[in-house]
């Protein structure tokens, strides 16, 4: 069974925006993946905001979602208490809602990695003290 890849907004925006400095890196990961990327609604919301001024960016994101390349696999309502616990724990970082949801997703799934451009994921821990496997640009 392949490792589940959770995707953050940085790589999603990068793959959809050719002028993004991480575009080639993100595109390589998208092209190499046979499985859909999992994410949360907070990441999708961030992406729509960040893609507002890009040519066709929001439409390209819509197509990724419609084709099932990116799947929203998180219910904030069901995970409210644990998500808020994470936000409070990392108040000095500070942790965004999207980051908290992704950390919580990694806690709930066994073999996962987070595809991200956010170095804070090297600080975050799942289940208290476990490092979160990340896939990041060099």
Predicted pLDDT of residue 120: 95
Task: Quote the distance between the C-alpha of residue 75 and its chain's center.
Answer: 14
Contacts (Cβ under 8 Å, ≥6 apart) of 71: 36, 37, 38, 39, 65
CA neighbor of 1 nearest in space, from 107, 105, 112: 112
According to DSSP, residue 36 is labeled: P
CATH of the domain at 112: 3.40.50.1010
Tens of pLDDT along 55-87? 899 999 999 999 999 999 999 999 999 999 999
In the chain, the number of structural domains is 1
Tens of pLDDT along 95-123? 999 999 999 999 998 789 999 999 999 99
Mean pLDDT to the nearest integer, 11-40: 95
Q: Is pLDDT at 2 greater than 70 in this prediction?
A: no
- Using alpha carbons, list the distances in angstroms from residue 83 to 2, 67, 77, 87, 109: 26, 28, 10, 6, 15
Predicted pLDDT of residue 117: 97
Q: Is pLDDT at 1 greater than 70 in this prediction?
A: no
Tens of pLDDT along 6-22? 999 999 999 999 999 99
Predicted pLDDT of residue 53: 87
- Residue range of the domain that includes 76: 4-135
Query: Distance between CA atoms of 82 and 72, rounded to whole angstroms?
Result: 18
Cβ 14 vs Cβ 23: under 8 Å:
yes
Task: Grade residue 54 by pLDDT with cuts at 50, 70 and 90.
Answer: confident
Predicted pLDDT of residue 110: 77
Whole-prediction pTM value?
0.94
């Amino acid at each position: 069974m392949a490792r589940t890849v959770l995707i953050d907004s940085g790589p999603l925006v990068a793959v959809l925006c050719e002028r993004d400095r991480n575009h080639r890196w993100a595109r390589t990961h998208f092209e190499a993946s046979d499985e859909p990327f999992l994410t949360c609604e907070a990441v999708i919301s961030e992406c729509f905001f960040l893609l507002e001024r890009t040519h066709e960016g929001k439409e390209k994101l819509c197509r990724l979602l419609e084709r099932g390349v990116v799947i929203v696999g998180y219910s904030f309502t069901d995970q409210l208490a644990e998500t808020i616990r994470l936000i409070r724990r990392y108040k000095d970082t500070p942790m965004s809602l999207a980051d908290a949801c992704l950390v919580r997703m990694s806690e709930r799934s066994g073999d996962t990695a987070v595809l991200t451009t956010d170095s804070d994921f090297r600080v975050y821990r799942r289940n208290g003290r476990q490092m979160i496997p990340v896939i990041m640009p060099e």
